[in-house]
Structures are given as C-alpha cells and as structure tokens.
Amino acid sequence: MQSNPDISSGLYHGLEAWQVRTANATAVISVFGGQLLSFIPEGQHDLLWLSPTRAELPTPIRGGVPVCWPWFGRQGQDTDVPAHGLVRTVRWELQQVRQNDTGELELQLAPPLPADLGLRLQMQLRIGHQLHQQLTSENIGSAPVTFTQALHSYFRVGDAGRVEVDGLDGLQYLDKYEDYAQARLQQGPWSLRDPRDPGRSDRIYTGAGGHYALRDPVLQRRIEIRSEGSQTLVAWNPGADAAAKMADVGDGWHDYVCLEVANAGPEPITLAPGERHRLAQTLASAPL
C-alpha cells in the first residue's frame, strides 16, 4: 500500500490494522477478519466496544463489527464449521482507497475465498461524519446460492442495563433462549429490562424496518443505525451469568449492546448466477 496522509498501517491493541483519519472522524480496521474495530466521530466517544482481553489469533476478535458471512452462527451448516462463517478469521486485502468530494475516505476490501464457494465478497467503508459499511455478495457460479450474513456490531454504551432501542416496536422476534420455538411480539422499545426474560437478550427480529436508535442515558448520546438490504435485526447481550463464562467478556457485558443488521433465521438471501446483493449500515451519533 502506498503512503497516504489519511491512512496508515500499524498495530492497534496488538492487532495489525489500517488506521484512518479524516477531518471529521477516525476509524480502525483490522487486517485479520476485515473487522472494523473503532469509529470515533470528532469530539465524541467511540461508537464501538472492543474487548480489552483477547486470545491469540486466530481466535476471533471480540468487539467492533465482525463480518459474519456466508452464514450466521452455523445456520444451515454442519456443526464442525467455524461459527459465523469463513471471513472473520482470515487476512483481508485492502484493494482501493480514495477520498471523495466531501472529504470522506472510501476503502474497498476483500477476503480470500475458496474457489468452489461460488460467491465473491467485497466490503466498502465510507468514513466521515457518519460511517457507511457495505457488503456486496455476488454469485459467480453456475447455480443459485443461498446464504445468511450479519454485520455483528458491538455498540459501546455507558450501562447496557439502562439503554433502550427504538425501531423494533410491533416487530415479531424469535428467541434463542426458547430455541426459536415461536414468534413473539415486541412491545415498546427493546431493553434488557424486559420482564419476560430480564438481564439478557438473544433475539432475531424479522421483517425489520431498517432504522433504529440506541438511546444511552449514561453517555448522553443517541446512536442511529440505518440499514439497507437487511430483513433481520439481531439484538444480543449475554447478561451477567453467561458473560462470566466468556474470558473476553466477563464484566464487559455492561459496556456494550450488539445490534446486528442481518439476513438470517427465516430470511436468508438467494442469488441466481450473476446476481449481487448489498447489505449496508450507516452509523451516526448525536447528543441525547
């Protein structure tokens, strides 16, 4: 990669990464997994949480925005495949960097993939006042391909137990703690204070509308998430008991909420030969 005043290569929390600076924000993307690790709009806190405890690579990185592709969890796969797909534990290539007319920096990245997969993946990042992240999946084979996917965002919060998320009221969801047995109806904003199962969440919301707002009374900010090409939203926080068994979470469960724009559960994507699909999210924050 040629030297560029707005992007450099180096170590970030011990991880090889591309570090980006624009007039309005900074961002960090890990070479391992192509994983967005940090996005800090000028004068604000980081929108993303990254675990301070990390196992040696190739153990997946906990935090930031892992790319789950071409399956979410192990949906539709054998139990011996890596959870959340093929691309979060490989080295990605930075293919292109350009600055647009508004001063935003645009990056294009791609992972190595098995030749027989029949799919190609590229990721675009646009970094400025807001962050735009897009996955473009293309069927390069000769038969239809079905896949699931997610941008598994860990949003940094002041206290997970106090935040609320708008944009889910009236949606149906499937609950992993019930083995996805039946659809339930969300009433009001999402929070970890839901009396039906307080203190934890692992839900797949279906038919999701693509605009959500995370209200954080401790950090006094509102994170806006807008998605495109997504039918599903996953809301996850393991809560105290499960987090205590996770070496890279522990008490850190207080510090994040995962809201994952996705196509998963009953809403996979099928591409005919030559077709493409784009999954995108745009992140922004403002004072509460």
Q: Are 136 and 264 in contact (CB under 8 A)?
A: no
7-287: CATH, from 2.20.25.650, 2.60.120.10, 3.10.20.740, 2.70.98.10? 2.70.98.10
Domain ranges within the chain, ordered by starting residue: 7-287
Residues 6+ apart with CB under 8 A from 95: 108, 109, 110, 122
CB atoms within 10 A of CB 90: 15
Q: Considering the entire predicted model, what is its pTM?
A: 0.96
| Per-chain mean pLDDT for the chain | 95
For the chain, what's the residue count? Answer: 288
pLDDT higher than 70, residue 256:
yes
Task: Please give the distance of CA 186 from its chain centroid, rounded to a whole number.
Answer: 22
Enumerate the β-bridge partners of residue 120. Answer: 138
Report the C-alpha gap between 195 and 50 in whole angstroms.
29
pLDDT higher than 60, residue 3:
no
Confidence band, pLDDT 50/70/90 cuts, at residue 1: very low
Report the C-alpha gap between 156 and 17 in whole angstroms.
20
Measured over all CA atoms, what is the biggest interatomic distance in the chain, rounded to whole angstroms?
54
pLDDT digits 0-9 by tens, 150-206? 999 999 999 999 999 999 999 999 999 999 999 999 999 999 999 999 999 999 999
